[in-house]
Structure 1
Amino acid sequence: MPTTAAALSYDPADPFVVAEVDLDEPRGDEILVRIEASGICHTDLVNRAAGAADRPILLGHEGAGIVESVGESVDTVRPGDRVVLTFRSCGRCRTCTSGRPAYCRDALRLNGFGQRSDGSARVTRGGTRVLDGFFGQSSLAGYALATTDNTVVVGDVDPVVAAPLGCGFQTGAGAVLNLMRPAPGSSIVVFGGGAVGLAGVLAALSAQAQTVVVVEPSPQRRALAENLGAHATLAPGDDVVSAVRDLTGGGADHALDTTGRPDVLADAVAALAVGGSAVTVGLGVGVPQIDLRDLVLRGKTVHGCLEGDSVPATFIPRLLELHASGRLPIDRLVTAFPHTAVNDALAAQHSGDVVKPVLTW
């Protein structure tokens, strides 16, 4: 049983605690991965409040590392393979077999906290079970147990850059490349300049969008967006729809909402040109006030999008190829922190100084 450091949450209101935990050996289709880097995603922080009666909890769903050992039924990866860990899916239901595994009928069960079917513990601390299994990995640790369906072999890549492809970068880039599919010369407005939004910006630029506008409250992130190649940036405000229309010659062909806020999605739809499409990826709450006549009379569409509407086994390698060619400089979005500085990483992300913190192990 490997012993490793892990970033544990004992109370959602308290800082993370880095402590030693024990992992069981892989069984069946499980894969033991020595984590080299793990991104911190907003979804981790939202789910930090889960399992209040079962503490501590081990989060993390953007792990990258090297396969250490595999269970007896694993034949898709081998020890020594470098991998990126992503979301789980059953591979058998209608949505999985139609190429949309993010909408797997068992997605909530497979990606939520849980335990093995026989009730045995994967992770313990001092003999006490740690609540784990988040996205089938719980990779905010030096080792993680994943499964064959959420382990993608990626070859010789920088794990700090590759780790966020498991969720955040995959979500933003996939919303653009898999769902919007902007034509060269088109225009796109991105609401939110965090890791997901800026990954979408880079994807739009790689697809040769002519005009890319970013709406973001943080001055640091607006400056970064422009430095990455965005043609204009705007601070949120009452006149943002008019400003987007002016910058795009009457309305954007596409809009990406990463905020999960109903009012922002309403602005995104209003800022579209005739026939434009809005894609929203944020898991917010509430009902957007969208003008139905505008939607119908101008032929607009609104799409929900989870995990970039991607098939990770093919899309993550595609994004790495774009990065290797220089067309998707996602390395400019990441900042590495030693895992012992997890709380400093979160503070830097919260202040806007850092877009995507990645812990190294």
Structure 2
Amino acid sequence: MSTTVTAAVAPGTGQPLTIQQLQLDDLRPDEVRVHMVATGICHTDAIVRDGIYPTPLPAVLGHEGAGIVEAVGSAIITVAPGDHVVLSAAYCGHCKNCRAGLVAYCENLMAEDFGGRRRDGSTSLSSETGPISSHFFGQSAFATRANVVETSIIKVDPTVPLAALAPLGCGLQTGAGAVFNELRPEAGTSLVVFGVGAVGSAAIMAARVAGCTTVIGVDLHDSRLHLAEQIGATHTINPATTDVVAEIAKITRGEGVNYALDTTAVPTVLRQAAAALSIRGTLALVGAAKPGTDVSFEIGSSLVKGWTFKTIIQGSAVPQVFIPRLVKLWQQGRFPFDKLIQTYALDDINTAFADSESGKIIKPVIVF
């Protein structure tokens, strides 16, 4: 028997989300019914709404859900009704990368997270006018309830407020994981983060946990730079008023930074990040760009630096392992991501998107 849910629907490319009553179908054997408590809004939701990534619209987006398990399918063994869960990206679990523990690089990532359908082609959500794309990142969490695939489910400590944990599913996992799992900076090293929104802020907090002694935040919004200083940045730079590469050289006494993380995916910013690297430095990109975006790097004099460029998805994390670790760091006060959050009601979801895009707030979270 289907269940009526309230959801924010992306009706068409570039259009505001609309609040609708939808029908959620019966739970499948490999799914978990989650009563949503809160859902973070991420840049990926915006670029799918705007047609940059290929999820069919109309769709229920949302991929940073947090809630309580109401029911489980017959094949589910990892959670039970009443468990508190955070939701993250889906992965197939069967390809060679998943079998190797590289679930962020699942060979079927686009189908699992952006396809808008179950593997059999069905959708769990429908309206009076027809099917609505569902299972966005295995969840479609901009709804009061969702049928969620098991690979998206992470069981968490029930004593921790779920509204605080929602952003861990994507943005914060991406920033922190890029530092902990990929860059792996040694204690006493330097790291710069370009763009200190939610992803960049998570990277700054992770850099301090890892023992970096020079942590630089770069952003066009002074309010974000001020917060970056509160959560771990030792230096901040506003590129609107300062030559970023020259200032980084000054901060590092001419050596350049050991590690640079770009969350913007803006080609000119990436070139600045590369120019700011030290010998044997590493530049990593986590920002999502429109397919076909190109960037050029100087490869003449920079050749002797022996530097590295890499791209990172989802912080190269296994969510079921990594997110509980972030929760423990938060409980110890070492990863204070709650300082980034501003909550909104579901009816105000378009305002939340706009506030995030303008830089007014860092991490909007819808609380149901």
Normalised by the shorter chain, which TM-score bucket?
Answer: over 0.9
Kindly indicate whether the alpha-carbon contact (under 8 Å) linking 2:40 and 2:364 is maintained by their aligned counterparts in 1: yes
SS of 1:276's equivalent?
strand
2:154 and 2:167 map into 1 onto residues whose CA distance is 13
SS of 2:350 mapped into structure 1:
helix
What is the CA deviation profile of residues 147-189 of structure 1, one whole-angstrom value per residue up to 9, with x for unaligned ones? Answer: 1111111122222221111110000010011111111111111
Question: Which residue is equivalent to 2:34?
Answer: 33
TM-score by length of 2: 0.93
- Offset at residue 114 of structure 1 (A): 2.9
For the aligned residue pairs, the C-alpha RMSD in angstroms reads 1.8
Measured in 2, the distance between the counterparts of 1:323 and 1:52 equals 34
1:179 aligns with 2:182: yes
SS in 1 for 2:300: helix
Alignment of 1:202-213 (within 5 A): 202-213=205-216
CA distance in 1, matches of 2:36, 2:87: 10
Equivalents in 2 of 1:98, 1:7: separation in Å?
A: 36
Match of 1:344 in 2: 351
Establish whether residue 111 from structure 1 lines up as the match of residue 118 from structure 2.
Answer: no
TM-score (norm 1): 0.95
Gaps in structure 1 of 5+ consecutive residues: none
Question: 3-state DSSP class of the match of 1:189?
Answer: strand
Deviation at 1:227, TM superposition (A): 2.3
Structure 1 residue 72 displacement after superposition: 1.2
- With 261-270 and 62-71 compared, the bigger mean Cα shift is at 261-270
Name the amino acid aligned to 1:94.
K
Distance (whole Å) between structure 2 residues aligned to residue 303 and residue 294 of structure 1: 20
> Is the counterpart of residue 280 in structure 1 residue 285 in structure 2?
yes
Of 331, 335, 344, 2:342 maps to 335
Judged with a 3 Å threshold, the aligned counterparts in structure 2 of structure 1 residues 223 and 295 are, in CA distance, closer, same or farther, namely same
Please state whether the residue corresponding to 1:292 is helix, strand or coil.
Answer: coil
| Whole-angstrom distance in 1 between the partners of 2:305 and 2:246 | 16
Cα displacement (A) at 1:127: 6.0
Aligned-residue offset at 1:233? 1.1
Which residue in 1 is equivalent to 2:270? Answer: 265
Q: How many residues align?
A: 361
Does residue 314 of structure 2 align to residue 307 of structure 1?
yes
- Where do 5+ consecutive residues of structure 2 fail to align? none
Q: 2: CA distance between counterparts of 1:196 and 1:328?
A: 13
1:49-198 to 2 correspondences below 5 Å = 49-50=50-51, 55-126=57-128, 128-156=130-158, 157-198=160-201
In 1: Cα distance, 2:171 partner to 2:123 partner: 28
- Partner in structure 1 of residue 328 of structure 2: 321
Aligned partner of residue 224 in structure 1, secondary structure: helix
Q: Secondary structure at the match of 1:115?
A: coil
**AA in 2 matched with 1:248:** T
Task: Provide Cα deviations, 1:75-105, integer angstroms capped at 9, x if missing partner.
Answer: 1111111111111112222211222111111
CA contact (8 A) 1:25 1:32 kept: no
Q: Give distance in 2, aligned partners of 1:118 and 1:247.
A: 55
